[in-house]
Structure 1
Amino acid sequence: MTTPLLLIAAGGTGGHMFPAQALAEAMLNRGWRVQLSTDARGARYTGGFPHSTEINQVSSATFARGGLVAKAMVAPRIALGVLDAARRMRRDRPDVVVGFGGYPSIPALSAAVLLKLPRLIHEQNGVLGRVNQLFATRVACVACGVWPTRLPEGAQGLHVGNPVRSAVLDRAGASYIPPGDYPMSVLVMGGSQGARILSDVVPDAAAALPDDIRRHLRIAHQARPEDIDRVTARYAAQGIKAEVEPFFHDVPRRMSEAQLVISRAGASSIADLTVIGRPAILIPYAAAAGDHQTANARGLVEAGAAILIPERALDVASLSAQMSAILSNPQAAQHMSRAAMGAGAPDATERLVALVTELANRNG
C-alpha cells in the first residue's frame, strides 16, 4: 500500500504558514507524506515545519507590489509556476491538495484544478483573502477559521477553527499568573504588516503608566527591522526593560509567560491567544482587506477576553489607560485569561485532519 500524499499550498505571511505547519505536523504523525508548495517569500517561514516535510519552491507573483515591469511579469511567472506544479503532480500525484491562501498558493491550486485532484482551502480570517476568493467555488470545501465567514455564492463552507502549531498546543491552558507586585511580562506583536504604529505608540504608552506598574514591566516587542533602534532607545530612556526584535521564534513560550498581550488581530495570533489563554489588547490592522482583522477579533471581545482599540482611536493615552486597567486589576485579568480559553477551537487541527481524510477516502 502506497503512503498517501498531502500537498499543502501556502505562503506570504505567518498567518498563512502557521496553520499550514499545524496540518503538516498532524498528517505526518498519521503516516502521510507531506509536501509544501510555496515561493521564496514563504520559504522564510519553513524553519518550523517538520524536517520530513518536502519543500517545493515555485514561481509566483502578485499585482500588489512593484512597478509596471514587475506587474507585466506577474502573469508569465504564475503561468510558469502552474506548469511546474502540474509537472510535479503528474510525477508524484497528491491524494489531497489543501490551500491556505497567499499568492504563492496559486500555482499548486491551479494545477490541482487542471488535473482534477481532490482539493480544499482553509481561510483563516472572517473575510476571504483574494486568492481564496478565486478558488472558493473550485474546491470541495472552504474550511473556515472564523465563523461566520462571508463566502461567494456556490461555495460550501464549514467551520473548523484555526489550527495552531504543536509548540502552541504544548502550552495550551498554561497556568496564568495574574499581574501583581512583581515582574510582569507584556508581549507586543505587530505581525508582518502594520507593525509601525505599535512601535510609535506602545513605548510611550508604557512610559505613561503609573510608576507602581511601570517599574515591574518586562516587555518583549516585535518591531520592523528599521524601527528596532529607536524603539529600543525609547524604552531605555524610560528605564523600561525591553527586548526588541524583528521576530521572536519562541512566541508560544513568551505568550504563556505574559500577563498581557498587545497585538494586531491576525487569525493566527487570535488562535494562539485562545489556546494558551491570555488577556489581550487588540488593534486590528486598518488596511487589512475587508477589515477582516476586526472580524477576527470579535469573538474574543464579545467573550470578555480582549479589549479592542480601532487603529483610528489608538494613541498613547487610550492605550496606556487600557494597559493600566488590566495590569492593575488581577481579578479582571484572570477572568480575561479564562474567557480567552473558552473562545477558541483547540481541536481545529483535528477537524481539518478529518476533512482531509474524508476527502481522500471519498476519492479512493
Structure 2
Amino acid sequence: MTTTPLLVIAAGGTGGHMFPAQALAETMLERGWRVRLSTDPRGARYTGGFPEAVEIGVVRSATFARGGPLAKLAVPFRIAVGIASAVRQMLADKPAVIVGFGGYPAIPAMAAAWLLRRPRMIHEQNGVLGRVNQLFARRVHRIACGTWPTELPAGVEGVHTGNPVRSAVLKRAGAPYIAPGDHPMEILVMGGSQGARILSDVVPGAIAALPEALRARVRICQQAREEDLDRVAGFYADAGIAADLHTFITDVPDRLAECQLLISRAGASTVADVAVVGRPAIFIPLASAIRDEQSANARGLVEAGAATLIPEADLTKATLARAIADILENPDKARHMAQAALGTSVPDAAERLAALVEQLAGLQKEEKQ
C-alpha cells in the first residue's frame, strides 16, 4: 500500500473550472503527491491537457439547468449514484485532501468528502460564488478565492490565493510586449469555452470600421462557433482582413504572448492568463450570467488601467471600433496597460493553493496524533 498522499480534485467540464484544476494538479505532482481528478463524462472530455500521471475518476452527476421535465426528475438519483461511487472510491483509497473547483460534476466528490469527514476545501475562480461552491461554502475547511475580493456568505471567510494558471501560461509570464506601431498587429478574440455568438456578430464589423491605415495592419485570430465560422471567414475575406479562425484555440498562451490586444469574455481563467502574460484587453462580460460574475472578474484589471470593459448592452461595432483604436493608435497607453496587467497578476497562485492543501493535510495528521 502506497504512503504517498493522494489529492482528489473535483471539477466541472469547462475551461474556467478545469484550467486552474490542471494547474494545481501539475503543482501537486511536482511536490510528490498522487492526484486524481473526479469529474463526470462531460468533464472527462476536457482532460487532454492534464499530466498523464493524473488518474481520471469518472462519476455520474447532473444539473437541473439542462434537459426536460423527466431529465430533471432524474437529477437527484443520478447525483446519488455519483456520490455513492465517490464514497466507494474514497474508502478504497483514502485521499489526504479533496479540493473542489466548482461545476456540477464536482458535487459527488465534494459530497462524499463531507460525508466521510475528509479534509476539504473549495477554490472559487470568480468574484461571486458559483452555485455548487455556494452549496459547500459552509461545509469545507477552507475557501480559496481566485478573484479578490470575492462575495462570500455572511460569517464565511476566504483566503486570497489568486487563480492558478497552467504551466504553459507561466512559461510566457511577462513575455516582452511589442507595442502597437507601424507593423503588423495581432488581435486575439476569444469567447470562452463555448465561443460567443455576439463576438462573431460584432467584432468583424468593428475591425472593418477601423481607420484604413490601422485596419491594414491588423491580423485577427478569433474563436467562433462552428455554425458561425463560414460567415465570419467570408466577411473578413470580403473586407480584405487577414483572419485565422478556430472553434477552439489550443495554443492560447502563445497567442496571448504574440498579440497586441485581447478582446474577450471575462472568464476568471482568461483574466488570470492575460494578467500573468501582461497584455491590454477589452472585456465584454457575459450579460446572461445571473450573478454578473464576469464583471467582478474584470474589475481588478479595469481599475488598474489594464483593461477596458464594455457591457454587452453597450456593445456595437462603433463602440468596439473606438475602443480598439484608442489602444492600438496609442502605443504608450497600450504599453502602460500591458504593464498594469502584470501588476495585478498572481503568478504563484498554484503554489499558494498547494500550500493550503498541505496545510489541511497537516491538520489531519495532527488530529490523529
**Quick check: TM above 0.5?**
yes
Distance in 2 (alpha carbons) for counterparts of 1:312 and 1:324: 20
Q: Which residue of 2 aligns with 1:180?
A: 181
Q: Which moved more, 1:154-163 or 1:254-263?
A: 154-163
Q: Which residue of 1 aligns with 2:287?
A: 286
Q: State the shift of 1:193 in Å.
A: 4.6
Q: State the shift of 1:257 in Å.
A: 0.2
Distance in 2 (alpha carbons) for counterparts of 1:72 and 1:223: 34
Distance in 1 (alpha carbons) for counterparts of 2:29 and 2:172: 21
**Is the contact made by 2:165 and 2:350 (CA closer than 8 Å) also made in structure 1?**
yes
TM-score computed with the length of structure 2 as normaliser: 0.97
Q: State the shift of 1:102 in Å.
A: 0.2
Q: Which residue of 2 aligns with 1:248?
A: 249
Query: Which segments of structure 1 move beyond 4 Å, counting only runs of 4 or more?
Result: none
Q: State the shift of 1:289 in Å.
A: 2.8
Residue correspondence of structure 1 range 139-158 to structure 2 within 5 A: 139-158=140-159
Distance in 2 (alpha carbons) for counterparts of 1:246 and 1:69: 32
Q: State the shift of 1:156 in Å.
A: 2.6
| SS of residue in 1 equivalent to 2:138 | helix
Letter in 2 for 1:179: P
Distance in 2 (alpha carbons) for counterparts of 1:148 and 1:289: 18
| SS of residue in 2 equivalent to 1:150 | coil
**Is the contact made by 2:276 and 2:342 (CA closer than 8 Å) also made in structure 1?**
yes
Letter in 2 for 1:81: G
Q: Which residue of 1 aligns with 2:190?
A: 189
Distance in 1 (alpha carbons) for counterparts of 2:248 and 2:313: 25
CA displacement 1:252-276 (0-9 Å, x = unmatched): 0000000000010100000001100
- Alpha-carbon RMSD across the aligned residues, in angstroms, is 0.9
| SS of residue in 2 equivalent to 1:233 | helix
| SS of residue in 2 equivalent to 1:138 | coil
CA displacement 1:90-142 (0-9 Å, x = unmatched): 00110000000000000000000010000000000000000000000000011
Query: Size of the alignment, in residue pairs?
Result: 364
Q: Which residue of 1 aligns with 2:103?
A: 102
Q: Structure 1: where are the runs of 5+ without partners?
A: none
Letter in 2 for 1:277: G
Letter in 1 for 2:40: D
Residue correspondence of structure 1 range 30-41 to structure 2 within 5 A: 30-41=31-42
Distance in 1 (alpha carbons) for counterparts of 2:212 and 2:40: 48
**Is the contact made by 1:194 and 1:285 (CA closer than 8 Å) also made in structure 2?**
no
**Is the contact made by 2:195 and 2:225 (CA closer than 8 Å) also made in structure 1?**
no
Distance in 1 (alpha carbons) for counterparts of 2:347 and 2:167: 11
Distance in 2 (alpha carbons) for counterparts of 1:73 and 1:165: 36
Residue correspondence of structure 1 range 1-364 to structure 2 within 5 A: 2-193=3-194, 195-364=196-365
| SS of residue in 1 equivalent to 2:89 | helix
CA displacement 1:123-173 (0-9 Å, x = unmatched): 000000000000000000110011111111342311111000000000000
Distance in 2 (alpha carbons) for counterparts of 1:58 and 1:223: 31
**Is the contact made by 1:129 and 1:289 (CA closer than 8 Å) also made in structure 2?**
no
Q: State the shift of 1:85 in Å.
A: 0.5
Distance in 1 (alpha carbons) for counterparts of 2:268 and 2:338: 18
**Is the contact made by 1:303 and 1:339 (CA closer than 8 Å) also made in structure 2?**
yes
